[in-house]
Structure 1
């Protein structure tokens, strides 16, 4: 640092040091002559400060600062504690320091053994009142000393007794204790990092097993990682979860690929979401959260097997009259088919080989029997209502919403799966119908797809809709607390869809999007006012809309040999219905949350 002055007449004041020798830097005093005046610095005088070259930034540091200034708004917060690898490196350094401290301590023992040490009481040097029998009793009971030698022959200095202050003072192991504490701290940090990473892994598994949408799972994991100070990135695919944990200190990362089957249990989903929410808000510690997640994983299903079978029967019966124009005869026949589908579903869950052909086998059996009874029942109403739980309505809607949320990989896979699943169901229904046509009179195939029975009076919809909604909620694992809100969501979506469909000028896409918008508004307002999960409301309403049924009906025409032109558009119709539902839900999110700052991970889809 230098000061340059343009005024040559200015002279600094005289400063004389004291005659006292300086013994401490803090005691330095300056004697300034009080008669000397300090004239003001002239205006022409310019003072230029030159920084020390050691403190100047290098070109690389300036470049990093420039890049950071542009990317600071979009930068992801990094972990301040580092990762496992950096802590393992620190642990190795601490071990080497401990060994060096121990060697220094042993060397100091050999050079200072002749010095006089303060006398201290020891058991093996003092003559106590303990006789040989007492020492033998202590050695036999505790195993601490040999029973034959009452004296301890091992030196306390050579054993490095860290709890003995005399040993610390004599052998100079204070640095050793410091390094030991450092090693223990690093070990505790490693255990803490692994525990936080394990919680994130179990949280992702819990959300996948309970049926959360993929893009919402990734959002929940990101939010939890920021709270727990974990540097990670996540990607959820159907049946697979990819997690990458980074280490900012070593510039390395660890990637985990975890297989996890997808399920749907609304009650358990709300429990897992509550755990994630409390951890993200700092209201629950990680060890307690791990115990809660393990309790959710090991808990039995929300409803027993008998309840689920009864729900299959009731849902198939009521849906036949509500959505497919079935009669009272179609209602109880569909209930029998629903019992068959429910039993086979439970069997397929226990045997993986059966689950591979579950959809086609069930649909073939249902279509074959329904075609045999086509003179008494409506074939399309009975066959579609029997497999209504298996219809890919939720899968299709989730796929389209993931694509709309720019989750291309997961959304594309789910979309292809939903279309192929509808194709498998339609192929089975068409295949069973074709088998009956070959075995029976072929001329009956012309009127097999048309209903020859009178539908149920629409006034009974007020009774059938709550029953259908409750039964579908039980199949999807909705608990007693979720069933009322799922019923309300189903009522909102069905009422809007039913009354708007009576307007001739409105096509099915507009009606579906309007019903989805009303459903989304109700769910988001419920979540915003009561601070509860809106996912059960959306599930109940979307299943009532049944976006996959239109595509399955078109696919039946594709496989039964009809040439009406409608069969070739089944995939386009399925995607159009899914887009309509997605548009309505996203518009509802924009209206309720215009700024996008949601208070909860699962406030909307």
Structure 2
């Protein structure tokens, strides 16, 4: 025992495992690149435990629902993350809830988790969520670090307060009036907010239009006043869900819908891109409406195709978030398509016997516009992603 030294249990001479070399990290990076070429991406550099990976997936699901990710894409996003992280998982997306089941092949058992979150639309935080998601699936950071970043993001306060959002809603109505024609403190009043707002706007617009001078246009005032509470966004999402065979959540949102208030940081690099795509969508919609008459679905499909191509190209070339830059462009297409089909003023034309049928015509026109937008968005995604390398993550767009 005099000249001998005791060996640790982890010593390579005891375990028989070769010691790590300096070029092990380089080999790991080479293996990571090879996995990309073979189309079977896995995590090589930032490996975490299975519970850490599962926790990241659950936190990602909550963030996507909270910040208004396209509901027909949430399930595919989670499946792609689970595949890259090598987690045996299955997901079921219902309105306001996600059911995640994690399997353990070794013990032949599974754990079921319920993730519940209210809907909203926060474009700034949604872009940051997608950036964290991309870092994890591209092996830039580990799942544990991604969970910490998502937790920190979800604890941040809203960018704009309630008063600023009310002012922005007023400005939106004032701006959209010449070119195209909110929450409450009381939980009970929020159920009838859209109805009461539409009634108030209708009375004010009818009163102004009855002025003898005729300087006030009823159609323009009423359309601009209720454009923010029109359920076009939710009807569009439900159409996309039904087209993606998400029958439960899609059919529910087709019947029960609401409106969201967009929240995007003013100092954002994506703001000019959003403005450009919105202008392109509006120009394409106006040009198509000039040559194609009485077909609001075809006109909306052309505008949505332009938005989809530009948004997906921005995502592929500049590594941005396609959904965030496409939201405003799609938002322009809904009121523009309704205005192309006659707008709200069409409800007050015709004889008294046609009163009920003309009242339902607005809903039919809205669904018609949503179907056209759905076809244009899916067609643009098919064309853009038919060429080039395969995406490592799931498609994060409409």
- What's the TM-score once normalised by structure 1's chain length? 0.52
Q: How does 1:269-288 map to 2 (within 5 A)?
A: 269-288=126-145
Which residue is 2:249 aligned to? 410
Q: Distance in 2 between matches of 1:351 and 1:284?
A: 43
For 2:66, the equivalent position in structure 1 comes to 209
Could you say which residue in structure 2 is the equivalent of 1:513?
A: 301
How many angstroms does 1:380 deviate by?
Answer: 3.1
Aligned pair 1:236/2:93, yes or no? yes
Residue of structure 1 in register with 2:205 after alignment: 370
User: Paired residue for 2:286?
Assistant: 498
Shift of 1:201: 1.1
2:334 maps to 1:546? yes
Preserved CA contact (<8 Å) 1:523 1:538: yes
1:246 match: secondary structure: strand
Aligned residue in 1 for 2:381: 589
| Deviates further, 377-386 or 407-416 | 377-386
Aligned partner (choices 260, 263, 280) of residue 477 of structure 1: 263
After TM superposition, give the deviation of residue 207 of structure 1 in Å: 0.6
SS of corresponding position for 1:249: coil
The equivalences for 1:49-448 within 5 A come to 192-324=49-181, 345-346=182-183, 348=184, 350-376=185-211, 377-418=216-257
Structure-1 residue corresponding to 2:43: none
- Aligned residue pairs, count: 343
Residue 504 of structure 1: how far off its partner (Å): 5.2
- 1:109-134 per-position Cα deviation (integer Å, ceiling 9, x unaligned): xxxxxxxxx9xxxxxxxxxxxxxxxx
Shift in alpha-carbon separation, 1:553–1:506, aligned structure 2, 3 A: closer
Cα distance in 2, alignment partners of residues 255 and 519 from structure 1: 38
Distance in 2 separating the partners of 1:515 and 1:477? 23
Tell me the residue number matched to 2:391.
Answer: 598
Cα distance in 2 for partners of 1:287, 1:563 equals: 62
C-alpha contact 2:239 2:250 (8 A) present in aligned 1: yes
Deviation of 1:494 after TM superposition, in Å, equals 0.5
Q: CA deviation at 1:404?
A: 1.2
Structure 1 position 274, deviation (Å): 0.8
Choose the corresponding residue for 1:566, options 343, 358, 365.
Answer: 358
Distance in structure 2 (CA, Å) of the matches to 1:522 and 1:288:
32
Could you tell me how far apart the structure 1 residues matched to 2:347 and 2:119 are? 28
User: Is the 1:528–1:603 contact (alpha carbons within 8 Å) kept by the matching residues of 2?
Assistant: no
| CA contact 1:316–1:386 (8 Å) conserved in 2 | yes
Sort the Cα spacing of 1:242 and 1:504 in 2 relative to 1 into closer, same or farther, 3 A.
Answer: closer
1:414 partner SS: helix
With a CA cutoff of 8 Å and minimum separation of 6, indicate the structure with the bigger relative contact order.
Answer: 2
- Alpha-carbon distance between aligned partners in 1 of 2:338 and 2:353, rounded to the nearest angstrom: 18
Alignment deviations for residues 507-535 of structure 1 (CA, whole Å, 9 cap, x no partner): 22211111111111111111111111111
Q: Secondary structure at the match of 1:254?
A: strand
Tell me the distance in 1 between the aligned counterparts of 2:255 and 2:326.
22
Aligned to 1:535: 323
Q: Deviations over 1:542-584 (max 9, x none)?
A: 10112584698389569x9661643344443222211100111
Relative to structure 1, the CA distance from residue 504 to residue 269 in structure 2 (aligned partners, 3 Å threshold; closer, same or farther) is closer
1:368 is paired with a residue of what secondary structure? helix
Name which of structure 1's ranges 498-507 and 268-277 shifts more when overlaid on structure 2.
498-507
Contact 1:209 1:263 in 2 (8 A): yes
- Give the 3-state SS of the residue equivalent to 1:546 in structure 2: helix
In 2 relative to 1, CA 238–561 (structure 1 residues): closer, same or farther, beyond 3 Å?
A: farther
Cα distance in 2 for partners of 1:399, 1:259 equals: 19
Cα deviation for residue 598 of structure 1 reads 3.1
CA contact (8 A) 2:282 2:333 kept: yes
CA contact (8 A) 1:493 1:518 kept: yes
CA distance in structure 1 between the aligned counterparts of 2:292 and 2:83, rounded to whole angstroms: 52
CA distance in 1, matches of 2:347, 2:49: 56
Q: Distance in 2 between matches of 1:597 and 1:415?
A: 33
Write the distance in 2 (CA, Å) between the matches of 1:562 and 1:508.
26
Q: Relative to structure 1, is the Cα distance of residues 561 and 298 closer, same or farther in structure 2, using a 3 angstrom cutoff?
A: farther
Cα distance in structure 2, aligned partners of 1:389 and 1:308: 12
Q: Which structure has the larger Rg? A: 1
